[in-house]
Amino acid sequence: MTPTPSSRPAQDPTAAVVLDDVHKAYGATRAVDGVSLTVGRGEFFGLLGPNGAGKTTVVEIMEGQRRADAGTVTVLGQSPWPRNTALLPRLGVQTQASAFFVRLTAREHLATMAALYRCDAAAAERALASVGLTEQGSTRVDDLSGGQRQRLAIASALVHDPELIFLDEPTAALDPQARRSLWEVLRGLRSEGRTIVYTTHHLDEAEALCDRVAIMVAGRIAALDSPGRLIAASSPTTRLVVPAGRLTLERARAIEGVDRASEEGGAIVLETLASGRVLSALDQITGLQGVQTRTASLEDVYLDLTGAGAPQP
Ligand SMILES: Nc1ncnc2c1ncn2[C@@H]1O[C@H](COP(=O)(O)OP(=O)(O)OP(=O)(O)O)[C@@H](O)[C@H]1O
């Protein structure tokens, strides 16, 4: 289905998840404070926000691990609470602290997971292949690299072919290469049309992978849309980066059309709403060689929404 840009729940009975005005408090802490959202079938949906924003609590409520204090929660057409055992096999859950049978091989581990879900060994083999671990099938879980273990954790969440998958920071603690290679696995899941709720602190990742993202701040949804639309709707400011030693801050600030100038690692960063005018002034002063234009990213949107007073990781 086509994702809806609105943060209000669509009245779509076939949606994977519909939250309507969901609240959850722990004592005086309003962890979730009126969250409404819809995750469409086949959607790769990102949940972003600083530490303590309420992401985990929202996911736990969707998974049926926690009861919402108020509001309605519908997951695959059903209420996940009280714990709905008919729903559980339809969900796949990967957590940051995934439990493994460490003395088994990757293949044996998945075969055990498959058996727990009453699936056959072919299901384990398919899950192994879908995360690119077939070659490591005979490697003991203990001997897998960090990136391979994360793949195995994802495969464990996929083995029973669930309709809805929750992935919680699967790329946390991976080196940049392993992270990028896991992106390919995630892109593969996306192209298979799986419905995924994806929690991450990596904004580049959310921008690259997610159909839509919800940015949570202090228990509420501060923004919800596709990364592209969020970026397009954000500040129209362009940043021009002039290499070190070419321009003083004072001179930069005097250029007509420059709203703000700052120094970043020796380079001068100019913020402007009139990039054409400023670029031609720069051309006169220092030449344009090496001058970079930085367009807005999801990170800019995120920092705008969460920057002031928000708890930082
Ligand atoms: N079991 C609990 N008891 C009391 N307070 C809790 C509990 N779980 C979470 N909280 C509080 O609720 C708020 C939301 O926490 P939550 O873990 O949902 O946020 P989060 O966005 O997932 O954070 P992180 O990115 O650090 O995982 C925080 O203030 C947290 O301290």
Q: What is the pLDDT of residues 150-161, one digit of tens each?
A: 899 999 999 999
Which of 19, 48, 55, 66 is the best mutation target for the ligand 1 pocket, counting ligand atoms within 8 Å of the beta carbon and taking the most? 55
Share of residues in the chain with pLDDT > 90 (%): 63
CA–CA distance, 50 with 41 (Å, rounded to integer)? 26
Comparison of pLDDT for 7 and 163, the residue scoring more: 163
pLDDT value, residue 308: 46
Residue 225 C-beta-side C-alpha neighbours within 13 Å? 15
Tokens of 8: 């209000």
Q: Please check the confidence at residue 80 and state whether its pLDDT lies above 50.
A: yes
Which of 22, 29, 168 is the best mutation target for the ligand 1 pocket, counting ligand atoms within 8 Å of the beta carbon and taking the most? 29
Query: Average pLDDT for residues 114-124, to the nearest whole number?
Result: 91
Question: H or E stretch including 91?
Answer: strand 91-94
Task: With beta carbons less than 8 A apart as the criterion, state whether 33 and 219 touch.
Answer: yes
Query: Average pLDDT for residues 38-49, to the nearest whole number?
Result: 96
- Nearest C-alpha to atom 4 of ligand 1 is from which residue? 26
Which of 47, 48, 56, 197 is the best mutation target for the ligand 1 pocket, counting ligand atoms within 8 Å of the beta carbon and taking the most? 56
Ligand 1 within 6 A of CB of 29? yes
Q: Please check the confidence at residue 236 and state whether its pLDDT lies above 90.
A: no
Closest atom of ligand 1 to CA, residue 32: 14
Ligand 1 within 6 A of CB of 56? yes
Comparison of pLDDT for 58 and 179, the residue scoring more: 58
Q: Euclidean distance between the first and final Cα of the chain, in Å?
A: 34
Domain locations in the chain as residue ranges: 17-233, 238-295
What letter would DSSP give residue 156? H
pLDDT value, residue 98: 67
Query: In the chain, what's the furthest Cα-to-Cα distance?
Result: 72
Q: Which superfamily does CATH assign the domain made up of 17-233 to?
A: P-loop containing nucleotide triphosphate hydrolases (3.40.50.300)
The radius of gyration of the chain's CA atoms, rounded to the nearest angstrom, is 23
Comparison of pLDDT for 39 and 120, the residue scoring more: 39
Q: Please check the confidence at residue 9 and state whether its pLDDT lies above 70.
A: no
Closest atom of ligand 1 to CA, residue 27: 4
Q: Please check the confidence at residue 125 and state whether its pLDDT lies above 80.
A: yes
Tokens 């391979």 belong to 148
For residue 301, how far is its CA from the centre of ligand 1 (angstroms)? 23
CATH classification number, 238-295, choose in 3.40.720, 2.20.25, 3.30.420, 3.30.70: 3.30.70
Please, what sign has the CA dihedral across residues 131, 134, 137, 138? negative
The ipTM is 0.97
Give residue-wise pLDDT tens across range 242-295.
998 999 999 999 999 999 999 988 899 999 989 899 999 999 999 999 999 887
Q: Please check the confidence at residue 170 and state whether its pLDDT lies above 90.
A: no
Query: Average pLDDT for residues 3-27, to the nearest whole number?
Result: 76
pLDDT value, residue 3: 42
Ligand 1 within 6 A of CB of 231? no
CA–CA distance, 11 with 138 (Å, rounded to integer)? 47
For residue 32, how far is its CA from the centre of ligand 1 (angstroms)? 9
Query: Average pLDDT for residues 111-118, to the nearest whole number?
Result: 92
pLDDT value, residue 4: 43
Q: Please check the confidence at residue 49 and state whether its pLDDT lies above 50.
A: yes
The per-residue pLDDT of the chain, averaged, comes to 89
Q: Please check the confidence at residue 43 and state whether its pLDDT lies above 90.
A: yes
Confidence of residue 7 (pLDDT cuts 50, 70, 90): very low
- Nearest C-alpha to atom 22 of ligand 1 is from which residue? 56
Ranges of beta strands (E only) in 169-246 are: 195-199, 212-217, 220-225, 238-242
* Per-residue buried b or exposed e for 110-121, using 16+ beta carbons within 10 Å of the residue's own CB: bbebbeeeebee
